[in-house]
Amino acid sequence: MGVSGKLPCSSTLQAQQENAAESRILALDQMPPQANCALPAGFQLDRYRIERQLSLGGFSIVYLAYDDDDGTAVAIKEYLPNSLALRKEGQIEPLVPDENLPAFRYGMKCFFEEGRSLAKLMHPNVVRVLNFFRANNTVYMVMQFERGRTLHDYIQKHRGDVGERFIRGVFTRMLNGLREVHAHKLLHLDIKPSNIYLRTDGTPVLLDFGAARQTLALDQPMLKPMYTPGFASPEQLGQREALGPWSDIYSVGASIYACIVGAAPPRSDERLKHDTIMPISRTHAGRYSGQLLELIEWSLRLDPLARPQSVYTLQKALMQKEAGEPMPASWFTDLGARLKSFIGRG
């Protein structure tokens, strides 16, 4: 028995539904955020006991919690986008309006896949994902709790006096972790000083992969990244098909720039219209090596193809004082002692 037409296959229907969900998210992205209430202290979430809220963002809430099995402190990230769901005081499950359900579920799927991907990463310079699970009609990601301070805190405390040794030591090590991220065909897409954590032993760790839903293969629709103005590459704010490792490299360059200047560079989308950024190789000449300043400008090129194309290329340049001249080993050996002193005073 024949049929007069073709029904869309399930994968086509799924793609249509996900594209519609993504459109809904993009439209809601411009709406004023609403306030979501955190889970209460002492709340039992699977085998974890919530101690307190650590941070609240537009896409998620992060808690300090303890594992009942061994008492280990963990950080738990809860999927709860402000533009799609609302949880009031005393409620446990978020309230999602019917018109937001497709977008909420699509975002939850992406968040769950993010946890699955990050759980495969085992690197000392990348935050460790220990577990991820569904509960309360949302998704939770359990991460190793790190003690220390953010690079943003360090910059604020040492504004105008962040040394070159420190910069090279922190970013050379952090880039080891970013190389591992890219090797797993993930992008971070939200690298900034507040997402680079300085552990008490002096080692940097890359945090908050809330934007890392985009694979290098670009084979799935994605949510709009929760980017930070000044640190996001121009392609991240516009042409998604141009995203790649060079997009994270732009953010690294912007983060090094912030170490020196004390603030992020101008927004990349504004730079595309009228680039007002002053060449840092001129404004800070003599205070830092010309090679480091030129490396920053190289990473902040608006054209993605004009930047370093791989983390390895950027890392190799960071480990050179001048072209072809490697940094003395002593520049990297005392980083831990300096950071311990800073964190201890904080």
pLDDT tens, residue by residue, 65-117:
999 999 999 999 999 988 899 999 999 999 999 999 998 998 888 888 878 88
Distances (CA, A) of 163 to 105, 155, 295, 335: 46, 10, 16, 11
Mean pLDDT of all residues in 248-277: 95
CB 299 within 8 A of CB 307: yes
What pLDDT does 160 receive?
79
In 3-state terms, what secondary structure has residue 96?
A: coil
What pLDDT does 77 receive?
93
What pLDDT does 331 receive?
52
This prediction's pTM: 0.78
What pLDDT does 185 receive?
84
What pLDDT does 26 receive?
41
Q: In which order are the strands placed within the sheet that holds 44-45?
A: 44-45, 48-56, 60-67, 73-79, 138-144, 129-135
CB 47 within 8 A of CB 67: yes
Q: Is the pLDDT of residue 141 over 70?
A: yes
Beta bridge partners of 149: 198
CB 206 within 8 A of CB 191: yes
DSSP 80: -
What pLDDT does 55 receive?
84
What pLDDT does 337 receive?
54
What pLDDT does 214 receive?
45
pLDDT tens, residue by residue, 208-242:
765 444 443 344 444 445 568 899 999 988 777 88
C-alpha 164/C-alpha 320 separation (Å) is 12
**Across the chain, where does the E strand assignment appear?**
44-45, 48-56, 60-67, 73-79, 129-135, 138-144, 148-150, 196-199, 204-206, 320-322, 325-326
Query: What are the residue ranges spanned by the domains of the chain?
Result: 44-144, 148-345
Domain 44-144 listed as CATH 3.40.50.2000: no
C-alpha 209/C-alpha 187 separation (Å) is 9
Question: Could you tell me the fold of the domain covering 148-345?
Answer: Transferase(Phosphotransferase); domain 1 (1.10.510)
Q: Give the type of residue at 70.
A: D
What pLDDT does 184 receive?
86
Mean pLDDT of all residues in 309-326: 81
Q: Is the pLDDT of residue 2 over 50?
A: no
Distances (CA, A) of 174 to 205, 314, 323: 6, 12, 22
Q: Is the pLDDT of residue 346 over 90?
A: no
